[in-house]
Structures are given as structure tokens and as C-alpha cells.
Structure 1
Amino acid sequence: MPRYSRRLLRGIGLVCALALGATACGGSDDSDSGTKAVSEADVQAALKKGGTLTVWAWEPTLKQVAADFEKAHPGVEVNLVNAGTGNDQYKALQNAISAKKGVPDVAQVEYYAMGQYALTEQLTDLKGFGADKLSDRFSPGPWNGVKAGGEGIYGLPMDSGPMALFYNKKVFDKHKIAVPTTWDEYVDAARKLHKADPKAYITNDAGDAGFTTSLLWQAGSRPYTVDGTKVKVDFSDAGAQKFTGTWQKLLDEKLLAPVTSWSDDWYKGLGDGTIATLATGAWMPANLVSGVKEAAGDWRVAPLPQWEAGGKASAENGGSALTLPELGKNEALAYAFVEYANAGAGVDTRVKNGAFPATTKQLNSTEFQETKFPYFGGQQANEIFAESAANVADDWSYLPYQVYANSIFNDTVGKAYVSDTTLAEGLKSWQDASIKYGSEQGFTVEK
């Protein structure tokens, strides 16, 4: 990775401090900028020697993976630590990097946050371990995510979130609503449902950065262009106009439940049928099973509605990778664990325990695709998820300060949900604020 100015590296550190509440991101500006070369023989020697690995991750299926890895390599001890989910872990990680103390050997990092860690040279480029040769094992969206808009490989994909439409079949059947195949049909279904039952809504949306960027991705919008420290932010392309034109109708006609996802009201709405669909990632089934037990058998899965009839475009919503922080120790041993968990025997273990894979072997397997989901009335939903994963365009980029950008979403786009501000105006405000911030942090921002 090329070396960048101290001002820029400090600037991205400030992104972390402001977005995550950390005191600093820590210094990578004095680190070795070259890609390490670690052979397979080095990895095998590390496994033979053994040692202790500290892994920071919140993904629950890794518990069994760690136990299996220890059994296969008796000299290795895996210390699996849940340092928090998402931003909570990032805050802890940045504090450890800043102090240069207590940095884990392996850390779970979501794709949208990968860029800022990669650019500040806080993650090891795994090309030196030969990770670039694993590209054909993963579906396009997650593999693009670990490249973080650059040429390096900054982690191995652990899971993915190809999108689908989860819908309450019982509600749809009651009101004789056809499952929408386009977003225009989705708007029509929203109108029909709410007219039939004023307490029911097609979905909830109180404003969410991840959901918005996923729908922009599917619509063909590419608002972020990233080339090292050169970035461009533009929410005015044709894809963005498709999204705002359609979603604005749902807002104007008050067809969206003003309920925040993951709240008690959200779970209640999913259970009693007043929230009739979710357009979200393939990781959702386990959450429905555990959180909306009363609606078992009512829900089904369908392909994501299209912006143009006959299309097959999809997008990712969520997903993360396992990475090797630069200041971590035991890199060869750490890489062995990451490859085992995300590209080796550990993948089947995680899938059996409910994880949604990023690997094409599992996605395309007959066993995986023919799995019947009792919650969905015996539907083989993985067929839909696997097709969605294959139809994710791999040219999407996030900003290298996306964590910060997402943190100001409610102050910009979010106004469209609570005032007369339109979505298009909200996106323009988000664009301007993101450009201003990037310029202040030393990025070259094209307008």
C-alpha cells in the first residue's frame, strides 16, 4: 500500500475519534508499508509450534470453529473475545491500536468499515499470505468488500448479506396482494395493503444508512468513487434518481411504518402482521426464528423487487470479514485460523450453526440450496439467497471514512423522514457534508 501524509493519516484517525467516540485511531504512519511475504511453510511451522491467539469477534458460530481448530491443532489456544458489536468493538480496537497495547491477533470488521482501516495501514495486507489466490472461492460482493477499494486483500470474507424480500404470506393472501417483482409493484402493494388495513404497512423505514446504500447499489447508483486518497461523492446519478423517485412516493403517501428496526415495536409489527415485508440480507432468517416466533409459518422469501421489469440485480446488506490488525502478534498462526474459519473446514461448521456463507462452494451446493426452512413453511429459501449472491455487482465502493459518513445520515437524509425535506435533498445534504468532511481530513475530494 502506498504511504500517505501524516496529516491524512491523522485525519482518518479523527474520523474514528468522532464517529466511534475513541480518543484516537493510533499510528500507522511509522509502520512498514511493504506487503509481508509469508509462505505456506511458515504457516505450517506456526501451527506446529502452537501458541495463543486472541480473536475479537461477535459472530456466534465462531465459538464452535475455535473449538474445532484447537482440537485439530492441540498446541493452539484460541481466546475468543466479544469486545462488542460493530461500533462498540471498533471503539475498543481503535483504543488498543492507539495505546499499542492489547491489540488482538484477529478482528472482525464489517465491509463498510474496512476502507478506513486499510487506508491507515492498520490491517495486514493478506496478499503476502497468498490470499489473492482465494478469490474464486467467494461470491463477488464480499470479495469486493475485503479489497476495500484498493489492490490489497485486507481480510477474508466471513459472511455476506445478499438481499431478498421477506414477506408475510398470511397478510398478502388475506388482502389478495401479489408478491411484487418490481419496486413500482411494491409501491402499488403498499397502497393496497394500507387501504385495506390502515394499521398495516408494507414495511418500516425510519431512515437507515445501510439500507439506503444497499438500495442505491441495487439501483445501479455508484455515489462513491475511491482511488487511494482521491474520492468523489455524487448522489445525482440515474440510479439514485430511481431510488428517490420511488421511495419518495412511499414517504409522501405515509405508506411506511415509522418504526426503528430492532426495536420492540418492530418485532411486534413483524409478529402481528402490521409490518408485512422486509428487504434485507440473507442473514435475517435466524433473527425471525428467535425474535418473531409467533409468526412461524406465516413468512416466505422472494427475490428482491427490481428497478426494471425482468432484471436480476441485487446488492449486499451487511456482512463482515476476519482481519489481521497490523499490531497483532502471531501473524502466521492468525492467518491459519482465518483461512480455516472462512475458506476451510470452519465454513461448513458455521453454516450448520446458522451463518450465511460468502463462499461459492457452499452457496452452490445441493445440500445448502435444498435446505428446508420450517419457519418459511418448508420453503427452500437458500435457492433465492444463492441466486441473489451471484447477482451482486462487484463494483461498489464505500468511502474510506464511511463509518463517519453513516454517523451523520440522520442529520441529513434522515430529515426526509420527519420533515418536508425530500430524499433527493437529503442525499444532496449528505453528499455536501461528506465532501466537506473529507476535504477537512486531507482527502482530495472531487466535486
Structure 2
Amino acid sequence: MKSRRGLMAVALVLLAGCSSPAPGKVELAYWGWDPNMDKVVAKWNESHPDIHVTLTNPAGGDQLVSKLITAHQAGNGPDIAKVEYQSLPSLVAGGVVRDITEFTKDTVKEFDDPTLKPVRFEDKVYGVPQDVAPLMLFYRADLFQEYGLSAPKTWDEYAAAAKTIKAKGSTITNFDAADPGWFTGLVQQAGGDWWTTSGTSWKVDINGAQSKKVASYWEDLVKNGLVAKNPSFSPQWNKEMNDGTLVTWISGAWAPAQLGGIAPNTQGRWAVAPLPAWTEGNRDTGIWGGSATTVTTDSKHAKEAAAFASWLNTNADAVTDQIQQINVYPASTAGRSLPILQKPPAFFPNQANFYDIVKQVAPGARSFSMWGPNVTVTFSGYTNSFGAALQQGGPFGAALDSMQNASVADMKKLGFTVV
């Protein structure tokens, strides 16, 4: 991954040299947002009395990225941070996250190459993968049965089911203009690649044919009144998920950890299925989220911080706890065969084969070949342009054009060559 400015150049200058552990007990600050992660961290602290980790949750996702950048500029960032894969390139380029290659030579053997790809840049490792999050279809099995429906295998079947569900007084799902994660995953499933490089030049294809195919599909559902327009995780959305107004959720494999807070009255009523395909039998899907545990350049104890990151994501007990407490689908190869995965998540007690389905789907999950250096600008463009399109009834294709133009303009402003 290279550009005229050299995406990693700034980071490499800042990362020169290694810090030495301070004598005595080492204190590490860890920023993350996973529910119940404190229980996992407590086990580390119990078994590692000389290295104490303090977990705080200042924000999640993109908000955490902004806080990390601000803290780094002030020189008081944490030692360890949970970072979604799409945010990692910009944090590396900005010198916020450090190269931990020297501390993870044994750790990386626990992951396959596709899983390591999002944390490797120019053959250097900038994080330990925590989980993979293939996009799945979560649906209210009780209501589907009541309505005489089965899980749709294609997007055509999904659109047909939307009409039936609407006639029954419910709505199949919502179009979320506030969070681009799900839409990005759908574009990945369709074969899109928003960023690619050739030599020192970048190509940006946010408004390409695959993206417009996905956008056109959802625009039709919106215009026909078959999907809701409210954002996910809003109070209204939570209520509609809880009372059966909304009957499917296109989400990452991590969804069970969230449903208890979103729709507490629906435990045991949901099921998971592979994402509908554009062509029946195709097993491709995208991703929504997925994260790495990173060490920041502000840490004075990089070796110890990397040791915690490695333990968290490769130790059998730690990974088992994350599956049980957080419902992650583990990134480590061995983690995907742990006995805990023979049981379904607590919120899905009636689907004994829950993780078997995830395991079948995971190999077909594709991300972009790389994430761009200004994902935050692209994602903000999504929120602005699709939000306006929903409110004003504007074309979704034009929303993609707006995202494309904003992203390219920003990359050129930063000094990247875009062709």
C-alpha cells in the first residue's frame, strides 16, 4: 500500500526505536467498547500480577478513532486500543498506532493470511486481529413462521418477502443512513472495491457499478415503502425491533451481543441465516466491523501491551470468554474450533447450529482489497448524502457520486495521487 506521500512514511519515522519496560509493576491503559470485556481483562490481571490493565470505554467505533487522534496529539493516548479494520490505515499513517512486528512473531502464526491482511502494511504488523464479522441475516423466526416465510436465499426473494411482511403489518428492515457499515458490507458482497492502488497512484471507485447496483436495489425498497427510514440503534429502532415491527436485521456475526440490549423481549425468537445472494448458490458476503487490538505510539510499554493483545486474541481461555461474554467470532484459527462454539449464543437458545452457520459463511466473507487513507471522510459522506436522499427523496446514485467526489477531493488535498 503506497502513495506519493507514502502512507506509512510518517508512522515509520515516529515509530523508530523501542521502549524499555519500566522496573516494577507495569500499568497499561486499554480503550475499548466491547460489553463485558472487563471480565476478560480481570482474568489477565489475575494471572499477570506484574502487568495491570485498566479498561475504559470512552466511545465506540469512529468516535473512538477521533478520541485516539485527539489524545495522541496531546501526547496522552492509551497503551492499547480496539480499532476496527477500516480505521487502521489512517491511524497507522497518522502515527497513532505502532508497528508491533517484533513482539508478534509467534502470535501471527495463530492466524491465516486473509485474517492478517487487514493488520499488515508493507509487511509490518500493526495489530492483533480480534474477530471477523461476516455479514449475516438475522430474522424473527417466530414471525417468519407465522407469515408463512422461510429465510430468503436471494435478494429477489428478500424483496418478495418484504411485500408479504408489509401486508401483514410489519416491516422487513430499515435503511440506515447513519451507519455506513452495513451498506459497505453489501457493496463488498457485490464485488465492489472502493480503493485500489497501482504504484504510487490510487483509484477510488465508490460510485462504481457494484455500489450503484446495491444502492438501486435499496432505493426501490424505500420508494415502495417496504423498509423503514429510521437509523439503527435509535430509541425508535430499538422499540420496533423489540415489538416485532422490524423483523430482520442485516448485521455482523456480533449481533447476538447487541440484541439483548436492543430487543430484550425477543430472546429465543431470532435465527441467523446466510446473507441473501445476488445469484442463488453464491456464498459471498461482506463484513461489518471486525477489529484488531492495537498498541499506540504513546505507550511506554509496547512490549507488555503487545503481550496483552496477543493473549487476548490467542489464549484459549481469553478467546472462550470473549465468545461467551461478547459473542465475537474469533479471528484466530484455533479459536474457531473451541468447544464453546458448539453452543449457541445465549440470545439464540433455539438455534443450536448458530456457530456452524457462521463457520460456513466466514470463508466467503470479503472486504475491500484495502481501506483508503481517509475512511472517516468517506463514511461522513455516506451519512450526509444518504441522509439527505432519504429525507428529500433524492436518487441514491447521486448520493454515491457525492461520496466519491468528497473522498477524492480530500485525498488530493492530503497529497495523494488519484487517477
Shorter-chain TM-score above 0.5: yes
Maintained 8 Å contact 1:139/1:359: no
**Quick one: which of 154, 157, 167 aligns to 2:126?**
154
CA distance in 1, matches of 2:3, 2:239: 51
CA distance in 2, matches of 1:128, 1:217: 32
- Identify the residue that residue 272 of structure 1 maps to in structure 2: 243
Stretch moving more, 158-167 or 183-192 = 158-167
Partner of residue 63, structure 1: 38
Shift in Å at residue 404 of structure 1?
A: 2.1
Distance, in Å, in 2 between the alignment partners of 1:344 and 1:227 is 38
Q: Contact 1:126–1:132 at 8 Å: present in 2 too?
A: no
**Corresponding residue number in structure 1 for 2:69:** 94
Residues 313 and 189 (structure 1), Cα distance of their counterparts in 2 relative to 1, 3 Å cut: same
Query: What amino acid maps onto 1:382 in structure 2?
Result: Y
Aligned to 2:416: 443
* Residue 52 of structure 2 corresponds to residue 77 of structure 1: yes
Correspondence 1:402 to 2:351:
no
**Which sections of structure 1, spanning at least 5 residues, go unmatched?**
13-26
295-304 vs 220-229, which deviates more? 220-229
Q: CA 1:139–1:67 in structure 2 vs 1: closer, same or farther (change >3 Å)? A: farther
Residues 66-86 of structure 1 show CA distances to partners (whole Å, capped at 9, x for unaligned) of 222222222222222222223
Q: Is 1:259 equivalent to 2:233 in the alignment? A: no
- 1:162–1:317 CA contact under 8 A, matched in 2: yes
TM-score by length of 1: 0.84
Q: Aligned-pair distance for 1:289?
A: 2.3
- The 2-side partners of 1:322 and 1:174 are apart by 43
For 2:253 and 2:68, how far apart are their aligned partners in 1?
27
Shift of 1:435: 0.7
> Which deviates more from structure 2 when the two are superposed, residues 385-394 or residues 281-290?
385-394
CA distance in 1: counterparts of 2:359 and 2:29, whole angstroms: 32
Determine the structure 1 residue equivalent to 2:344. Answer: 372
Q: What is the CA distance between 1:361 and its match in structure 2?
A: 1.7
Letter in 2 for 1:108: K
Partner of 1:18: none
1:220 aligned residue? 191
Cα 1:30–1:377 shift into 2, 3 Å: closer
Structure 1 residue 206 and structure 2 residue 181: aligned?
A: no
Counterparts of 1:194-343 in structure 2, within 5 Å, are 194-197=166-169, 200-207=170-177, 208-226=179-197, 230-343=201-314
Q: Which runs of 5+ in 2 are unaligned?
A: none
1:139 Cα deviation from its structure 2 partner: 7.9
Percent identical residues: 29
Q: Which amino acid letter does the alignment assign opposite residue 225 of structure 2?
A: K
1:345-384, CA deviations, whole angstroms, 9 ceiling, x for partnerless residues? 421222232331222222234x244213453352021111
Q: Secondary structure at the match of 2:206?
A: coil
Deviation at 1:65? 2.9
Equivalent pair of 1:47/1:76 in contact (CA under 8 Å): no
TM-score (norm 2): 0.89
**Which whole-Å deviations, capped at 9, do the CAs of 1:395-441 have from their partners, x for residues lacking one?**
53221110122112122233332234222221112111111111112
SS at match of 1:84: coil
Kept in 1: contact 2:133–2:253 (CA 8 A):
yes
- 1:331 to partner: Cα distance: 1.1
Residue 168 of structure 1 contacts residue 298 of structure 1 at CA under 8 Å; is this kept in 2? Answer: yes
1:121 to partner: Cα distance = 2.9
Check conservation: 1:3, 1:33, Cα contact below 8 A.
no
1-structure distance, mates of 2:106, 2:368: 17
What is the alpha-carbon distance in structure 2 between the residues aligned to residue 106 and residue 374 of structure 1? 29
RMSD: 2.9
Query: Does the 8 Å contact 1:203/1:256 carry over to 2?
Result: yes
Change (3 A) 1:108 1:268: same
Aligned residues: 415
Pair 1:31-2:6 in alignment: no
| Closer, same or farther: CA 3–288 of 1 in aligned 2, 3 Å | closer
Work out whether residues 160 and 358 of structure 1, in 8 Å CA contact, stay in contact via their aligned partners in 2: yes
1:344: how far off?
A: 2.0
Superposed displacement of residue 284, structure 1: 0.8
Deviates more, 1:86-95 or 1:339-348: 86-95
The match for 2:358 among 370, 381, 385 is 385
Structure 2 residue corresponding to 1:110, chosen from 78, 84, 106: 84
- State how far apart, in whole Å, the 1-side matches of 2:189 and 2:3 are: 34
